[in-house]
Amino acid sequence: MPLFERENDEFRADLRSQALSVVAIDNHFVDGVYDKLASVYDVIFGPILHPGRLLALEKIGIRRGDRVLEVGVGTGINASLYPRHCHVTGIDFSNPMLDKARARIIKKGLSHIRLMQMDAAALQFPDNSFDVVYAPYLVNCVPDPIKVVQEMRRVCRPGGKIVILNHFRSTSPVMSRLDRALSPLTVHIGFKSDLDLPEFLAQAELRPVLVQKISMPPLWSLVICNK
């Protein structure tokens, strides 16, 4: 490919990525952050993110025998929320986070949950493997949220659900500027605060059947799509 065409492609990719967030990160950076956070994650991000986790499970409505993929399972904080009549696979990049999750599922005897170390942007599952593909508090942690959603869609069966729970850039002009200004800082505690929801949905070609704000505090949104 001629050099100027490649430069144009790279320029367009940069513009798309900047429309999503002002922060650019790589897996090595994210891994380093979560390796450090693993021992304190449940204390810092446990209670504050829990109303969203409960609402998501209620709205998903997991059915008997459903195959559920949790992308970015972390310390397994959602593990005991899944009904025992489904089969859950939890994947995460960070081994220290997964160690916590392993200890939790052994302690609680959660035999319907299996854990695997994997990059969300390169899922090692065949197409159409799951009925529900759920990413709680993940898409603003990863370098390329669009690639992650493409992978989530690929492994979800036709008619299955793709579910995203996340903080997105505020729609209020003042708060939106704050989200953008803070994002280079929040990324050091594990997330970009300025991921733009309309841009994310457009680039990921997602058409949600539900977008609902978590009531208190109203900083997070639940997005449910059918494949």
Q: Which residue is nearest to ligand SAM (CB)?
A: 74
Q: Phi/psi of residue 6, each to 5°?
A: -65, -40
Q: Reduce the DSSP state of residue 164 to 3 states and report it.
A: strand
- In the beta sheet, which residues pair with residue 226? 161
Query: Is 68 near ligand SAM (CB under 6 A)?
Result: no
Per the CB < 8 A criterion, the answer to whether 73 and 101 are in contact is: yes
**Residue 137 is a binding residue for ligand SAM (CB under 6 A):** yes
Among 20, 30, 57, 132, binds ligand SAM (CB under 6 A): 30
The percent helix, strand, coil of the chain (3-state, each to 5) is 45, 20, 35
Q: Does 168 bind ligand SAM (CB under 6 A)?
A: no
Q: Rank residues 136 and 160 by Cβ distance to ligand SAM and give the closer one.
A: 136
DSSP conformation class of 58: H
- According to the binding rule CB under 6 A, does residue 123 interact with ligand SAM? no
If one asks whether residue 92 binds ligand SAM (CB under 6 A), the answer comes out as: yes
Residue 77 within binding range of ligand SAM, rule CB under 6 A: yes
Place of tokens 């990324």: 187
Alpha-carbon gap, residue 87 to 93, rounded angstroms: 20
Q: Is the separation of the CB atoms in 193 and 218 below 8 Å? A: no
CA–CA distances in Å: residue 164 to residues 134, 174, 220: 6, 25, 10
Q: Which is nearer to ligand SAM, 12 or 83 (CB)?
A: 83
Is 186 one of the binding residues for ligand SAM (CB under 6 A)?
A: no
Q: Does 49 bind ligand SAM (CB under 6 A)?
A: yes
Q: Is 74 in the site for ligand SAM (CB under 6 A)?
A: yes
Residues in touch with ligand SAM (CB under 6 A):
27, 30, 34, 45, 49, 53, 72-74, 77-78, 91-94, 97, 119-121, 136-138, 141-142, 190
